[in-house]
């Protein structure tokens, strides 16, 4: 019996950390700025002076809400699938039904810096959404 319990404890110790461990993108993020290249080559820019967006990621689930100039624009939510530096947002629900059922693929990387005695993490990502190439920078909320 003792050997059985020891074996179970060892198996749980091996398996549990891989199931509970978070990926690098997990957390709550605040939009800072973005650049969006349209199919015709036009480049649009946005920043958080008028666009407020927050993205929350926990394990394989994400949600995103945004507003512009105080007007709620909507939300999206779904699966968040990570493969190294690449990830996919698989939209399941949200206020914009045109995104439902779509998968958007991105390459993301983190950058940390010391600011006012605090470690700050920035999340850069690039990818394409409905034919628009985008590059965005988000800051992790503490």
What tens digit of pLDDT does each residue of 104-127 get? 999 999 999 999 999 999 999 999
**What confidence category does residue 23 fall into, taking pLDDT thresholds of 50, 70 and 90?**
confident
Pairwise CA distance, residues 77 & 95, whole Å: 10
Average pLDDT of the chain, as a whole number: 88
Percent of the chain with pLDDT over 70: 85
Average pLDDT over every residue of 61-89: 96
In angstroms, what CA-CA distances link 61 with 40, 50, 88, 110, 119? 33, 27, 11, 19, 25
- The DSSP output letter for 9 is H
Domains of the chain, residue spans: 22-140
Say yes or no to pLDDT of 20 above 90: no
Say which CATH superfamily domain 22-140 falls into. Answer: Calycin beta-barrel core domain (2.40.128.20)
């Amino acid at each position: 019996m003792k050997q059985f319990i020891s074996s179970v404890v060892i198996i749980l110790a091996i398996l549990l950390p891989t199931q509970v461990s978070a990926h690098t993108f997990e957390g709550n993020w605040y939009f800072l700025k973005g650049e969006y290249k349209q199919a015709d080559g036009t480049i649009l820019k946005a920043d958080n002076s008028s666009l407020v967006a927050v993205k929350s990621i926990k394990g394989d689930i994400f949600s995103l809400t945004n507003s512009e100039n105080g007007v709620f624009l909507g939300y999206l939510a779904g699966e968040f699938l990570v493969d190294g530096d690449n990830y996919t947002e698989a939209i399941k629900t949200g206020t914009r039904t045109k995104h439902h059922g779509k998968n958007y693929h991105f390459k993301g990387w983190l950058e940390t810096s010391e600011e006012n005695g605090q470690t700050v993490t920035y999340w850069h990502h690039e990818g394409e959404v409905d034919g628009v190439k985008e590059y965005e920078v988000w800051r992790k909320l503490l």
